[in-house]
Each structure stands twice: as C-alpha cells, then as structure tokens.
Amino acid sequence: MGKGNQIGGWAFLIGVLLALIFGLFSSIGSGWVWVLVIIGLIVGVLNVTERETGSFLMSGAVLIIASAFGGDVLGNVAYVDLENVFNMLLAIFVPATIVVAIKHSFALARN
C-alpha cells in the first residue's frame, strides 16, 4: 500500500469518526464542517484507485442519497439527532465523490 493510500485511508476513518462525533453534538460550529469537507477532498484525491472508481462512485452516490433522505426521515428519532449525523457524513462524502467523479471523467477523456 502506498503512502497516499495510507493517508487517504486514515483520513477516511478519522473523517467518519469525526462526523459521527460532531453529528451527535449539534452545537458544533461551521468551522468543523469545513474540516470534514477537507477530509473528504483528501479521501477523494488519495484513497480511491482507478480500479476502485466504479465501486466508490456507486457506493458514494448511494450514501449521499441515503444520508440526504435519511436525515429527513430519521431526524426525529428520540435521544439522537440523526439528521445532524447524516449531514456531517454528507460533508465528507459529497466532496470525495465529486473529486473521484472528476478524476474518472478526465481518465475517460484521456482514453
């Protein structure tokens, strides 16, 4: 595993954990959302190989759709603000998925 994959893998793990923690505390400021967006960009740039692109884009699209609609549906569950958790996950997965989609589009255009 290359150094970029290690950094991207750690960024992914740390980002998801932070999203869950930040999502549980709705008083987290918008500065932390930017941290998650930057982690998502790092994941998109460093963590997804060309071979994994199709799977990542499919799972990323499903996660984005499920998080967007899941927050509306499950947002009123007692004791946990799931809507906020899903929004924090979106802050990671939307930029990561966009970066991978752009990289894939350039690769398609190049071939």
What is the distance between the alpha carbons of residues 17 and 102, in angstroms, rounded to a whole number? 26
pLDDT digits (tens, 9 = 90+) for 50-80: 888 999 999 999 989 988 887 777 766 656 6
Residues 6+ apart with CB under 8 A from 8: 42, 43, 45, 46, 47, 48
pLDDT number for residue 29? 72
| Residue that the structure tokens 């150094």 belong to | 3
pLDDT number for residue 79? 62
pLDDT digits (tens, 9 = 90+) for 5-43: 677 788 888 988 998 888 887 666 778 889 999 999 998
For the chain, domain boundaries: 3-110
pLDDT number for residue 99? 95
pLDDT number for residue 94? 95
Is residue 104 classed exposed, middle or buried when 0-12, 13-18 and 19+ CB atoms within 10 A define those classes? middle
What's the residue count for the chain?
111
